[in-house]
Amino acid sequence: MPEGSAGSTGWRRHLVIAGSCALLGVAVHLASPFLPVPLALIGLGVGLVGAGFMLAWAADAGEAVFSGGAVLAVIALVAILPEFVIEVRYAYIQEVGLVTANLTGATRLLLTGAAALPLLVLLVSRRRARQEAPLELAPHRRLDLGILIITAVFAVQIVVRGSLTVVDSAVLLALYVLFAMRVQGAADEEPAVVGVPAGLRSLSRENARGAVVGLILIAGCVVLVVANPFADALLVTGTSMGLDPYLLIQSVVPGATESPEFVIVAVLVANHRPAQGLALLLASSVSQWTVGLGLLPIAFAAGGGGTSMPLSGREQLELGFTIAVTLFVVAALATLRPERADASLILGVFLVQLIYPAPFVRFACGFVLLVFAIDLLCARRRTLRPMLRSAVGRRHPTPASPR
């Protein structure tokens, strides 16, 4: 019987709590005309987090109860549905000043979490006073790294040009299709199911599939109802306090919507399965970079804005900084054996730019990460060919990890 499901109904209670929180968000949305905006913000946030947990659990369990590479790619999309809803809406209503805020904030948060995971493993091992096995990614995860580095390099011309076009959309969405066609599990890597996902997996195969699909549909509907009102309430509340709207969307919203994934990652680390947690963060990052960024020009054109979506100087800076973060994370994980020195650097830079979000600080942090990324990629240049071959080359058994 899967871990976490042995004769226990605790997972059902957790599912009911998350579902109740999600429904609370819908109820608050319906009653929002009669509620103070700050109170509505709290209720909508609770609903969004509850729906996020349901989506994350369904995505985790779905990897075990469904099969096929395309299914795994769809599951990676499901986990970040809240961000997609907010990003596409801002592009559709021509809010070009905010259109990349949520995308860049969520992507950097996911990638920083992936690269900094060895520090969490170290913390858990010290608390348990025992030596944990070194964190190592499965060789087929080079696909995620290969797609990330290709996308990051491609995005450089977007930053230089200062606009996102439907041609860029076609390329980015094609990269995701390529990822979906090639993503696969491995015989030596069990699905990353613990807690509620393990409980869902303990059901009969037919019931488990029905439960996963039902959770995705219900939580997805809640996200569609709650996500945008939450972002609007956040903007109203924050701007009334004199806070920067861009930073609110970039920092606070991803902190709420990505929290379920980070909780799952923490549980996986506690259950001695950090590699699966890292893989979850990488797959979500791929989805953000390809589908998330690729849908923006399409939504912008659908809203009447034309086939080229302009980027302000601030958005160029933020997207450039995200490119630097991506290249550094790929370089840090290129050997498939993350090191604590790299984890400490990316975490330190993330905290500095979060505490001091001035444009010059973002530029300086991006420059530092880019220099280290180039240095690491040069030192680990033998890992580049396997990564790129996993993404665009012929499919064949993956060789051993270069050291």
Mean pLDDT of the chain: 83
DSSP annotation of 381: G
The mean per-residue pLDDT over the stretch 17-35 comes to 91
Residue 242: burial class (beta carbons within 10 Å; 0-12, 13-18, 19+): exposed
pTM above 0.95, yes or no: no
The mean per-residue pLDDT over the stretch 345-358 comes to 92
Quick one: which of 135, 115, 149 has its CA closest to 342? Answer: 115
The mean per-residue pLDDT over the stretch 109-117 comes to 89
Structure tokens at 220: 């997805």
The mean per-residue pLDDT over the stretch 26-34 comes to 91
Give the DSSP H/E element, type plus range, for residue 163: strand 163-165
From the CB of residue 12, how many other CB atoms can be counted at a distance below 10 Å? 12
297-301 long-range Cβ contacts below 8 angstroms, 24+ apart? 297/91, 297/164, 297/165, 297/166, 297/168, 297/169, 298/166, 298/169, 299/88, 299/89, 299/91, 299/92, 300/91, 300/92, 300/94, 300/96, 300/99, 300/164, 301/166
Can you give the pLDDT at residue 130? Answer: 62
Tell me: pLDDT of 79 over 50: yes
Tell me: pLDDT of 193 over 80: no
Structure tokens at 92: 């559709």
The mean per-residue pLDDT over the stretch 347-369 comes to 93
Over residues 274-326, the pLDDT tens digits come to 777 788 888 889 989 999 899 999 999 998 888 899 998 889 999 999 999 99
DSSP annotation of 380: T
The CA distance from 81 to 172, in Å, is: 17
The mean per-residue pLDDT over the stretch 135-146 comes to 86
Q: What residues does 225 pair with on adjacent strands?
A: none
Rounded to 5 degrees, φ, ψ at 164 are: -115, 130
